[in-house]
Structure 1
Amino acid sequence: MATLPQHADAVIIGQGGIVGASLAHHLIELGWTRLVGLDKSAIPSDIGSTSHASDFCFMTAHDKLSCYTTTYSQRFYESMGRYQRIGGLEIARVGDEARLAELQRKVASGKAFGTRVRMIDADEAVERFPLLERDRVLGAMWDPDAGLVVPRSQRVAGELIERGVESGHLSVFADTPALNIDVQAGRVCGVETAKGYIETPLVLVCAGIWGPIPAAMGGATLPLMPVEHPLMFFGPFDAFAGTGQEIGYPLLRDQGNSAYLRDTGDPKSTEGGQLEWGYYEAREPRLVHPRDILERDQARLSPSMRDLEADQIADAFERAVDLTPLLGELGWDDKHSFNGLLSVTVDGGSLVGESPETRGLWFCEAVWVKDGPGMGKLTAEWLTHGRPTLDPCSIDIARFYPVQKTPHHVHGRCLEIARKIYDPPVHPREPFDNGRNLRRSPFWHREQELGGYFMEAAGWERAHGYAANETRLADYLERVPARPAEWDQRHFWRVSNAEHLALSDDVGMINLSHFAIYDISGRDAEALLETLSVAKIGGDTPLGKGVYTHFLDTAGGVHSDLTIVRLATDAWRVVCGGDTGHRDLVWITRRAEDLSLTHWHLEDRSDGLATLGLWGPNARRTLQTLADTPDALDDANFPFASARELRLQGIPVWAFRISYVGEQGWELYVPFSYALALWDRLFDAGVMPVGIETYANSRRLEKSLRLQNVDLLTDYNLVEAGLARPKVKAADFYGKAAHLEQRQRQRQPSYLCTLVMEDPLDASGTPRFPVGQAPLLDPRSGEVPVDELGRRAYVTSIAYGPSLGCNIALGYLPNAYATEGQTLLLEYFGAHYPMRVAAVGYRALYDPDNQRPRS
């Protein structure tokens, strides 16, 4: 028996699953040499989700990172000789046109993000999967690369672990749970087990459904819950007897019934001559707290395999038999059917990265078998190089504010996510029902009185428009086109575009209290922010001067965009977007620790300062009517990008002259106790409340302004994004070397371009208003342009611009396509729409100062 090492470079908790095994494998590939793997079960795991997973892989997803991790994993399994590329079908039933449209949308996402899925008709679907009832099938999507990990992902995990042990760089210990994670002064120092103590600076939690337990040992909260997943077996099914195959027919997804089906191949194969039918409960999914999972000696089958109750599947099974009658004819193996446990999270994404609470405590959690090797690779790169291949913003555990990780919030959101694993199709703008009214600005009651149409971001309730303006702005509403296609107008309110137009004619106020606001001060504050920021924020920068700047990663990718205002000689105000604010906070604090800077202080003002954006051609005149010293607001006295204290009829306001909507105006910051008084004074002065839709989407795109984590990513650099400053400051900053190299290139691989839709009409003559991300195609070849780094062209942002009367989009295009006047096609629900490149790099299409559009 191996002796537990006293020291390790990293300890992996949950070594026996496919995620832990993949992470160890990729770390060793990148040069790590002293790894220790622990598991509370056998290795490979005989109790975790890997031990009973269905092991199939579909390439389809609506986000780039998921497509990357799945396609990488598929190739990885195949390279090991452990993948059967059998293909996969996703079907839409007769009468379910919405599901067919969703399949068309998946095909578009596949083109955008690099999968090979395509639509097929019902006849081809039945030809590929003969068990289907032809008259029940409307159409289908075919994924030629879908397949099965064979004989099981559990076997793959075992082989990867064996390789690691044979290399001499990995020591593994089965039946050795972590009893405690030793944390001192906020840093991991070691792991305690029944076999001894391991000193280590890194603990990597890959414990799957048990993840929150070791996370809590390390002082962190993991917003994850296990959910039951009914899995049933029917047989005997001997269609592939004698073939030796692990699977004969393609994988089948019947997502309109929240179910899937596959055969288990030759009766003599691993699983043995059955049909496997799995179902995700869409109405009342059953969550299980990790502490309530049974121990191995208490469970009938396995701790992650709970007993199945017939009422869980009755209705769905009846529908399944209607589609595949053979299921009703075969016998049900009730002894081996069960509820498998899998992980769901508060937003449906994986949980990866270093814990915000504890240094050295890392997670790779809530990962499906289809993504295991890919997520292992990204996490290993992140640990080794400080950044993974793709921007991890969608999986970074730091994306959540503490309030989003509280037990009540986690349970409600995980329950809602569990309902949507397969059905119904999730709209790109779809709001959550749970976890609402968590963070409400002081203006919320006024907005509610005005009939605010609320959506949520980062826990904040944000009104996208106001019902009261539907009467007030009736004339403007006549200039706003209707959206006949239900999908295009879902979670959109037409009055938002009327508010947009009215703002351009007069003045409006927008509630921006979702901003994350951090006041940073002290002797080391300048060194910290100067080292992080591309722009100069210290030195001779005047007091009250605001700077729009970026934080880069080591490779020059865009990690953050934000504004920083100098408050005093040694004090600055950092203003971040609500969605990105917590990641920015973690980035700042972690870089300060890395730089050994200790003489600085951060005060989080986010929940104490309310913010109103006041914009429009009459913003200055309106504000002067309320100001105690009106002359202070004159252009000469209050230039653009400057900030100062004001009194508005006695109310103390910190005003920052900046604009994210193109119109002149200010962000007005006011203590919560004065917030309602400010709103009321502005409202009484005739200022119209305007919803966040105008700020976040329509005016932003008319101005060609970029959004972090959407248009700005670590996948691209500042030059490609059109945001490189004219000169590079003398002071060193994070990512500077890479940034200098990027600036010296004769040309960039891609450029962020602004495009306009030339003709929005579909084949039926219905105008379309696309939402979400979609591929851009070369009109000659019909293929997605790909740059020299392998990055594909797709729309990152798109919205209708009422001032211009057209749909406006942003998207990165390879150098050869980044030319004004170039025409491409946007694919949306299977149809193609001409898109013209209107600007390369940053250039606004609408100039409010001149009140005219730019071509």
Structure 2
Amino acid sequence: MATLPTQAAAVIIGQGGIVGASVAHHLIEQGWSDLVGLDGAAIPTDVGSTAHASDFCYMTSHDRLTCYTTTYSRRFYEALGHYHRVGGLEIARVGDEARLAELQRKVASGKAFGTRARMIDADEAVARFPLLDPALILGGLWDPDAGLVVPRSQRVAGVLVERAVASGHLSVFPETPAVNIDVQAGRVCGVETPRGYIATPLVILTAGIWGPLPAATAGVALPLMPVEHPLMFFGPFEAFAGSGKEIGYPLLRDQGNSAYMRDTGDPRSTEGGLLEWGYYEPVEPRLVHPGDILSRERARLSPSMRDLEADQVAEAFERAVELTPLLGELGWDEKHSFNGLLSVTPDGGSLVGEAPEVRGLWLCEAVWVKDGPGMGKVLADWLTHGRPELDPCGIDIARFYPVQKTAHHALGRCREIAQKIYDPPVHPREPFESGRDLRRGPFWPREMELGGYFMEAAGWERAHGYAANEARLSDYLERVPERPAEWDARHFWRVANAEQLAMSDDVGMINLSHFAIYDISGRDAEPLLERLSVAKVGGDTPLGKGVYTHFLDAFGGVHSDLTIVRLAVDAWRVICGGDTGHRDLMWIRRRGEDLGLTRWHLEDRTDSLATLGVWGPNARRLLQGLADEPAGLDDARFPFATARELRLQGLPIWAFRISYVGEQGWELYVPFSYGLALWDRLFEAGVLPVGIETYANSRRLEKSLRLQNVDLLTDYNLVEAGLARPRVKAADFHGKAAYLEQRQRPQQPASLCTLVMEENHDAAGTPRFPVGQSPLLDPASGEVPIDDLGRRSYVTSIAYGPSLERNIALAYLPAACAEAGRTLLLEYFGEHYPMRVAAVGYRALYDPENLRPRS
């Protein structure tokens, strides 16, 4: 065995799996060398999930990045000659109209994100997979690009490692576990193994189901849980004898039964002559702590292959036999059936990026075989160039706040994700049941008394509306349309729209305590924030001035949108959205380290400052009635986008005059200890509690306001988003060179447009109120418009705007389509709805001055 090197440019822990092999391959492809791969078992792995994965790849997903990584992986496997594109079928059973609707929704997502899935009828489904009972099939989805990695992803991992080693850029050491990741002063310094120590500034963790164990040696919390996945084999199955095929029929998903099936081809092929049936337990999934995975010596088959108990699958197997009677006729190969282990995370997304706790420790965890090469490219691009092609916000490990990575919280959320791997269909607004009441602002008791309809974001409980207002606002409710389609109405409360209308006639208050608030001070605070921000926040910016700005990546992509208020000569308050706040925090800290700036201090005020937005035409008059110095709220003394301290009946308030809802008013920041007193004073004065739905969705879209990680992404620039400032500040800032180049283009490849739905009734005459992301189609061709950079047009945000009485959406459109008045079609559950471009770039559709008189 080769001698273990004493140093390396990077060490990959978990080299034997498809993810580790893909990471090494793509790093070398991008010019990396001096890589060392470690694995506690063989390379390629003989114990990890890659060794027993079913190896099938469906392109379909409701997630843009997943569609990207899966389609990339499919092309990668095909280029290697290790992919059999047999197609994939997903079926809905007779009586399961909800599943059929979900397949229609998947087809729409495929159009939005670049896959080729289409709906097929029952006859075509049975023709493609003749083992099905025709009487049970309602319809199906056909994915022509789905297929199987052949002969196995384990073999592909071996091929990639062999090539990498032959290139001279990778050295591998099987049976060499990483005992400890050495961290000094918050940075990776090396890796300890039983064979010696390797000094390195970079460790890449691709250890799969074991990932949390080496991560913990570095002091990093990795919120990942392995879950058992029953796999059963039946045979002999001789349909493809003599064909030489690794698989004969298409892949089959019966997700209404939380199951799938495939054949293993010619009995003389690698693992042929069987039917494989897999199942995900939707009620009581069996999670396994990584530390409880059996050792190789104790495991009957393999550490990642646990014994299968018949009661795990009894009911589901009976339903499987109904659908495919041949399963009941073939014998069950009990000896080779098992529970495979796979990784689940608290939100179902992969865990990729640099660990927040440690510089130099990068992760590529919770990745399925179908995404392995794609995620390897994502990580290699990120490490090499500073970002991947698509915004990684949904997989970035920094998306989690520390409290969301605790063992108790991760366990509950992982269990829920495991329950929903296949069934039931997950609604775009689906709330979690576990991990609730984790973060509650001081107003929460009053919101409970009012019957708040709570949803959760970033651990915060947020009321989207209040039951108490249903009687109080009955007149306004009459102006809010019913949502007869259950899917459109799920997790939505009509009273929220009534609250918005009432606020616009008088004054309302919205709980914004989920804001992430960071106070930054010190001699280097100004150079740090100036280097990060597109807008000028230092220099001659007056004290108390608030600036809406953005952080860009090196390519001019929009990484963050936030507001920065100057508190003192050397102090600023940075206010971020709750969902994006932790990623923004890590961006600030890491850019500061990279710039060598050390004389600054950050105080996290998120859990000590509560926020109430008070808005409406009567906001000033009402607050003046409570203020110790009413004149201090006059327009001349308190202009827009400024902040100052004041007192409301003696309560100390830091007030910021700004609006995200298109109404006059202020954000009021108060220490948690004064929160209830502030709420009570406002409530007693007649201020209406308004749910977060108005702020986050309906009024936001009436004002054409963009949301980071949804409408603002790193793969689009500020000019395309309609948020470029009139002038570029003189001072340098991160991404400035790219931003200047983007501004100088004679025409942007795409523009973020505001669209309104001209007609929202479906073929049955039911009014629809779309939720989630849907594709836009050219009415002439029926195809999704694609810009010059290959980016597809889809609705990024959509909501019903009660003030405008329209469904309103945001979407990036290619230059040729970005014309006011142009009509496109939105596809929603298989039907098409006309969408008119109402504004190109940023232009608010809602103007309170022109809509109705002020009271």
Bin the TM-score by the shorter chain: over 0.9
Which amino acid letter does the alignment assign opposite residue 156 of structure 1? V
Give the Cα–Cα distance (whole angstroms) in 2 for the partners of residues 848 and 267 of structure 1. 72
Give the Cα–Cα distance (whole angstroms) in 2 for the partners of residues 308 and 681 of structure 1. 61
Where in structure 2 are the equivalents of 1:252-267 lying within 5 Å? 252-267=252-267
Tell me the CA shift for residue 522 of structure 1: 0.2
RMSD: 0.6
Aligned length: 853
Tell me the CA shift for residue 218 of structure 1: 1.2
- TM-score w.r.t. the length of structure 1 is 1.00
1:809 corresponds to: 809
Give the Cα–Cα distance (whole angstroms) in 1 for the partners of residues 640 and 250 of structure 2. 61
Tell me the CA shift for residue 180 of structure 1: 0.5
Give the Cα–Cα distance (whole angstroms) in 2 for the partners of residues 556 and 674 of structure 1. 41
2:578 corresponds to: 578
1:770 corresponds to: 770
Which amino acid letter does the alignment assign opposite residue 654 of structure 1? W
Which amino acid letter does the alignment assign opposite residue 383 of structure 2? L
2:383 corresponds to: 383
User: For 1:81-138, what per-residue CA distance to the aligned partner results, in whole angstroms no more than 9, with x for missing partners?
Assistant: 0000000000000000000000000000000000000000000000000000000000
1:307 corresponds to: 307
1:395 corresponds to: 395
Give the Cα–Cα distance (whole angstroms) in 2 for the partners of residues 689 and 342 of structure 1. 45
1:76 corresponds to: 76
Where in structure 2 are the equivalents of 1:224-263 lying within 5 Å? 224-263=224-263
Q: Secondary structure at the match of 1:681?
A: helix
1:137 corresponds to: 137
1:415 corresponds to: 415
Which amino acid letter does the alignment assign opposite residue 120 of structure 1? I
Which amino acid letter does the alignment assign opposite residue 45 of structure 2? S
Contact 1:11 1:200 in 2 (8 A): yes
Which amino acid letter does the alignment assign opposite residue 331 of structure 1? G
Give the Cα–Cα distance (whole angstroms) in 1 for the partners of residues 215 and 777 of structure 2. 44
1:719 has 2:719 as partner: yes
2:479 corresponds to: 479
User: For 1:161-190, what per-residue CA distance to the aligned partner results, in whole angstroms no more than 9, with x for missing partners?
Assistant: 000000000000000000101100000000
Give the Cα–Cα distance (whole angstroms) in 2 for the partners of residues 787 and 64 of structure 1. 16
Where in structure 2 are the equivalents of 1:458-469 lying within 5 Å? 458-469=458-469
Give the Cα–Cα distance (whole angstroms) in 2 for the partners of residues 518 and 848 of structure 1. 33
1:543 corresponds to: 543
Tell me the CA shift for residue 752 of structure 1: 0.1
1:338 has 2:343 as partner: no
1:837 corresponds to: 837
User: For 1:744-790, what per-residue CA distance to the aligned partner results, in whole angstroms no more than 9, with x for missing partners?
Assistant: 00000000000000000000010000000000000000000000000
1:370 corresponds to: 370
1:186 corresponds to: 186
Give the Cα–Cα distance (whole angstroms) in 2 for the partners of residues 670 and 271 of structure 1. 66
1:208 corresponds to: 208
1:116 corresponds to: 116
Give the Cα–Cα distance (whole angstroms) in 2 for the partners of residues 272 and 634 of structure 1. 80
Tell me the CA shift for residue 586 of structure 1: 0.3
Which amino acid letter does the alignment assign opposite residue 130 of structure 1? P
1:424 corresponds to: 424
Tell me the CA shift for residue 542 of structure 1: 0.2
- TM-score w.r.t. the length of structure 2 is 1.00
Give the Cα–Cα distance (whole angstroms) in 2 for the partners of residues 348 and 770 of structure 1. 23
| Displaced runs of 4 or more, over 4 A | none
Give the Cα–Cα distance (whole angstroms) in 1 for the partners of residues 110 and 237 of structure 2. 33
Where in structure 2 are the equivalents of 1:456-855 lying within 5 Å? 456-851=456-851
Give the Cα–Cα distance (whole angstroms) in 2 for the partners of residues 213 and 390 of structure 1. 29
Gaps of 5+ in 1: none
Give the Cα–Cα distance (whole angstroms) in 2 for the partners of residues 508 and 574 of structure 1. 25
Q: Secondary structure at the match of 2:820?
A: coil
Tell me the CA shift for residue 850 of structure 1: 3.2
Tell me the CA shift for residue 851 of structure 1: 2.8
Give the Cα–Cα distance (whole angstroms) in 1 for the partners of residues 484 and 852 of structure 2. 28
Tell me the CA shift for residue 852 of structure 1: 5.6
Contact 1:537 1:566 in 2 (8 A): yes
Tell me the CA shift for residue 821 of structure 1: 0.2
Which amino acid letter does the alignment assign opposite residue 8 of structure 1? A
Give the Cα–Cα distance (whole angstroms) in 1 for the partners of residues 706 and 796 of structure 2. 10
Q: Secondary structure at the match of 1:774?
A: coil
Tell me the CA shift for residue 219 of structure 1: 1.2
Give the Cα–Cα distance (whole angstroms) in 2 for the partners of residues 663 and 489 of structure 1. 27
2:434 corresponds to: 434
Give the Cα–Cα distance (whole angstroms) in 1 for the partners of residues 84 and 144 of structure 2. 11
Tell me the CA shift for residue 376 of structure 1: 0.2
1:55 corresponds to: 55
Give the Cα–Cα distance (whole angstroms) in 1 for the partners of residues 851 and 145 of structure 2. 51
1:290 corresponds to: 290
Q: Secondary structure at the match of 2:775?
A: strand
Give the Cα–Cα distance (whole angstroms) in 2 for the partners of residues 369 and 783 of structure 1. 30
2:5 corresponds to: 5
User: For 1:651-671, what per-residue CA distance to the aligned partner results, in whole angstroms no more than 9, with x for missing partners?
Assistant: 000000000001010000000
Tell me the CA shift for residue 849 of structure 1: 3.2
Give the Cα–Cα distance (whole angstroms) in 2 for the partners of residues 340 and 177 of structure 1. 22
Give the Cα–Cα distance (whole angstroms) in 1 for the partners of residues 712 and 611 of structure 2. 24
Contact 1:722 1:842 in 2 (8 A): yes
Which amino acid letter does the alignment assign opposite residue 433 of structure 1? E
Contact 1:551 1:560 in 2 (8 A): yes
Give the Cα–Cα distance (whole angstroms) in 2 for the partners of residues 294 and 11 of structure 1. 25
Percent identity among equivalent residues?
A: 83
Contact 1:846 1:852 in 2 (8 A): no
Q: Secondary structure at the match of 1:542?
A: coil
Give the Cα–Cα distance (whole angstroms) in 1 for the partners of residues 664 and 850 of structure 2. 12
Give the Cα–Cα distance (whole angstroms) in 2 for the partners of residues 645 and 47 of structure 1. 62
Give the Cα–Cα distance (whole angstroms) in 2 for the partners of residues 398 and 664 of structure 1. 35
1:45 corresponds to: 45
Q: Secondary structure at the match of 1:810?
A: strand
Give the Cα–Cα distance (whole angstroms) in 1 for the partners of residues 617 and 737 of structure 2. 42
Q: Secondary structure at the match of 1:529?
A: helix
User: For 1:719-746, what per-residue CA distance to the aligned partner results, in whole angstroms no more than 9, with x for missing partners?
Assistant: 0000000000000000000000000000
Tell me the CA shift for residue 217 of structure 1: 1.0
Which amino acid letter does the alignment assign opposite residue 590 of structure 2? R
1:90 corresponds to: 90
User: For 1:426-464, what per-residue CA distance to the aligned partner results, in whole angstroms no more than 9, with x for missing partners?
Assistant: 000000000000000100000000000000000000000
2:348 corresponds to: 348
Tell me the CA shift for residue 822 of structure 1: 0.4
Give the Cα–Cα distance (whole angstroms) in 2 for the partners of residues 272 and 817 of structure 1. 51
Contact 1:663 1:849 in 2 (8 A): no
Which amino acid letter does the alignment assign opposite residue 765 of structure 2? G
Q: Secondary structure at the match of 1:850?
A: helix
Which amino acid letter does the alignment assign opposite residue 729 of structure 1? K
Give the Cα–Cα distance (whole angstroms) in 2 for the partners of residues 291 and 507 of structure 1. 55
Give the Cα–Cα distance (whole angstroms) in 2 for the partners of residues 851 and 633 of structure 1. 25
Q: Secondary structure at the match of 1:573?
A: strand
Tell me the CA shift for residue 848 of structure 1: 1.6
Which amino acid letter does the alignment assign opposite residue 15 of structure 1? Q
Q: Secondary structure at the match of 1:693?
A: helix
Give the Cα–Cα distance (whole angstroms) in 2 for the partners of residues 261 and 7 of structure 1. 46
Contact 1:203 1:362 in 2 (8 A): yes
